[in-house]
């Protein structure tokens, strides 16, 4: 029996990570991006991530590897059983793309928005077939994370929810359904903590290394908030904090001046080889 395929939109850090998880579990994937440079490097980047996932034991060695296709147009997703959008954290861009996707896929095809902060209902009000839209917060890198938030909007239908749970089961991942709202659960808690950590450093009360050492050694945080910021991508983090601040009014979510300077300087974390830490040329 032919394995159902998935389409992933966006060949940035998250799109590459999601595609890696899918092909590493034997699922055929069409990775779509309008940017030629990203398309040109996408196959190598997925291959590199897949090798790393195998070395870390995060994906099974020796099992089937799904075929990876690279495409530049929405029409390439027409036959997909699941569509995952993983583009920039911009509601206008996301809503526009979902409108294009809905016009080419079969009715009832679940459309997943990968978002860390934008409410599903905010997108659903601007797109056709909102009952097919579900939020899934794939965290970076997806092949190392075993549990994801599944965000159900008010208009999300039962069929779409069941299809997403089927997808996560096929990927050997657990989905926890949470209520819709800015930042959902994880980003609402984590991103504010990272913002506070950056403010502590900016105030001169502790170094980057000491903040992370205290959070890992005293409180059991696995990596420390600032090393986590580098993994998320500081530019993505600032986008998410901006969404949270604009939609909640919580002053603790106003992006730290230190975070904003790092974005302006191009120090976005691991993907740029420098953020709060330096990673060397990859």
Q: What is the pLDDT of residue 62?
A: 83
In our burial notation (b when 16+ CB lie closer than 10 A, e otherwise), range 239-252 reads bbbbbbbebeeeee
Dihedral (CA of 9, 11, 15, 19) sign: positive
**Among the listed residues 70, 80, 67, 73, the one whose alpha carbon sits nearest the alpha carbon of residue 27:** 67
CATH code, 186-272: 1.10.1040.10
Task: Please give the structure tokens belonging to residue 102.
Answer: 């809905």
Tell me the average pLDDT across 197-220.
Answer: 97
Band of pLDDT at residue 280, cut at 50, 70 and 90: confident
Domain ranges of the chain: 6-179, 186-272
For the cut 60, the answer to whether the pLDDT of residue 282 exceeds it is no
Distance CA 182, CA 170 (A): 28
pLDDT band, very low/low/confident/very high, at 237 (cuts 50, 70, 90): very high
Beta-bridged to residue 195, according to DSSP, are none
pLDDT digits (tens, 9 = 90+) for 10-57: 999 999 999 999 999 999 999 999 999 999 999 999 999 999 999 999
- Indicate the pairing of strand 29-32 with strand 111-113: unpaired
Rounded to whole angstroms, the Cα distance separating 89 from 246 reads 14
- Structure confidence by residue, pLDDT tens digits, 242-263: 999 999 999 999 999 999 999 9
List, for residues 95-107, the tens digit of each pLDDT value.
Answer: 999 999 999 999 9
Residue-wise pLDDT for 147-170, tens only, equals 999 999 999 999 999 999 999 999
pLDDT of residue 140: 87
pLDDT given for residue 1 in this prediction: 58
> What does the pLDDT read at residue 132?
98
Convert 53-105 into a string of H (helix), E (strand) and C (coil). Answer: HHHCCCCCCCCCCCCEEEECCHHHHCCCCEEEECCCCCHHHHHHHHHHHHHHC
What CATH number should be reported for the domain whose range is 6-179? 3.40.50.720
Write down the pTM of the prediction: 0.90
pLDDT one-digit tens code per residue, 177-201: 999 999 999 999 999 999 999 999 9
Using CA atoms, how far residue 199 sits from 194, 195, 253, in Å, is 9, 6, 11
What is the layout of strands, in order, in the sheet containing 174-179?
68-71, 29-32, 6-9, 82-85, 111-113, 133-137, 147-152, 174-179
User: Are the CB atoms for 198 and 229 separated by under 8 Å?
Assistant: yes
Q: Is the pLDDT of residue 281 over 70?
A: no
Q: Choose the weakest-confidence range: 28-32, 140-144, 172-176.
A: 140-144
Asked whether this chain's domains 6-179 and 186-272 adopt the same fold, the reply is no
Q: How far apart are CA 238 and CA 138, in angstroms?
A: 17
Per-residue pLDDT for 63 more than 90?
no
Describe the crossing of helices 257-264 and 186-202 by its angle, rounded to 10 degrees: 90
- DSSP state string for 225-258: HHHHHHHH-HHHHHHHHHHHHHHH--GGGSPPHH
Mean pLDDT of all residues belonging to the chain: 95
């Amino acid at each position: 029996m032919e394995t159902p395929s998935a389409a992933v939109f966006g060949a940035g850090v998250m799109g590459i990570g999601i595609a890696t998880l899918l092909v590493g579990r034997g699922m055929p994937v069409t990775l779509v991006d309008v940017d030629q440079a990203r398309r040109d490097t996408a196959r190598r980047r997925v291959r590199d991530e897949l090798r790393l996932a195998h070395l870390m034991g995060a994906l099974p060695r020796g099992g089937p590897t799904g075929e990876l296709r690279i495409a530049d147009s929405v029409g390439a997703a027409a036959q997909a059983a699941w569509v995952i959008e993983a583009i920039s954290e911009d509601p206008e861009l996301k809503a526009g793309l979902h409108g294009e996707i809905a016009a080419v896929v079969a009715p009832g095809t679940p459309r997943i928005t990968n978002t860390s902060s934008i409410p599903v209902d905010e997108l659903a009000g601007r797109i056709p077939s909102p009952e097919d839209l579900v939020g899934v917060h794939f965290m970076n890198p997806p092949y190392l994370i075993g549990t994801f938030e599944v965000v159900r909007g008010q208009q999300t239908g039962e069929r779409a929810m069941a299809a997403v749970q089927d997808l996560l089961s096929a990927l050997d991942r657990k989905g926890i359904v949470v209520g819709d709202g800015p930042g959902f659960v994880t980003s609402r808690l984590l991103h504010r903590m990272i913002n506070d950590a950056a403010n502590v450093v900016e105030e001169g009360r502790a170094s980057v290394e000491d903040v992370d050492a205290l959070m890992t050694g005293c409180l059991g945080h696995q990596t420390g908030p600032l090393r986590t910021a580098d993994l998320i991508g500081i530019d993505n983090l600032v986008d998410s904090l901006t969404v949270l601040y604009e939609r909640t009014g919580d002053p603790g979510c106003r992006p730290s001046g230190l975070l904003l300077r790092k974005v302006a300087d191009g120090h976005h974390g691991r993907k740029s080889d420098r953020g709060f830490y330096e990673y060397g040329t990859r």
